[in-house]
Amino acid sequence: MPINSIHWFPGHMAKALREVEAKVKYIDVIIELLDARAPNSSLNPYLNKISPQKPRLIILAKKDLADEKKAQKWLRFYQAQGYRVLMSNLQDRTSKKDILNALQPLYEAKMVKSAKRGLKPQPLRALIVGIPNVGKSTLINLLVGHKSAKAANKPGLTRGQQWVKVGSQLELIDTPGILPANYENQLVALRLSMIGTIPETILPNDRIQTAIIDFLVKTYPQYLIDRYDLKQQQLISHEDILSGIAERRGLLISGELNLIEAGNLLQKEFRSGILGPLVLDEIEDA
Ligand X SMILES: Nc1nc2c(ncn2[C@@H]2O[C@H](COP(=O)(O)OP(=O)(O)OP(=O)(O)O)[C@@H](O)[C@H]2O)c(=O)[nH]1
From the CB of 61, what's the least distance to ligand X, in Å? 5
Q: Is residue 30 within 8 Å of 56, Cβ to Cβ?
A: yes
Residue 269 interacts with, from Mg ion, ligand X, none (CB under 5-8 Å by kind)? none
Kindly state the helix (H) or strand (E) to which residue 87 belongs, with its residue range.
Answer: strand 84-87
* Span near Mg ion by CB under 5 A; candidates 87-95, 131-139, 221-229, 239-247: 131-139
**Between 263 and 277, CB nearer to ligand X:** 277
Query: Alpha-carbon distance 187 to 193, whole Å?
Result: 10
Contact status: 141 vs Mg ion (CB under 5 A)? no
Residue 64 interacts with, from ligand X, Mg ion, none (CB under 5-8 Å by kind)? ligand X
**Between 137 and 272, CB nearer to Mg ion:** 137
Burial 203-221 (b: 16+ CB within 10 A, else e): beeeebbebbbebbbeebe
Query: Alpha-carbon distance 134 to 264, whole Å?
Result: 22
Please report, as ranges, the residues that interact with ligand X according to CB under 6 A: 61-62, 64-65, 89-91, 130, 132-138, 178
Contact status: 137 vs Mg ion (CB under 5 A)? yes
From the CB of 30, what's the least distance to ligand X, in Å? 15
Q: Which residues, 6 or more positions from 234, have their beta carbon under 8 angstroms from its beta carbon?
A: 240, 241, 243, 244
Q: In the complex, which residue's CB is closest to Mg ion?
A: 137
Closest CA to 278 of 270, 267, 266: 270
From the CB of 63, what's the least distance to ligand X, in Å? 6
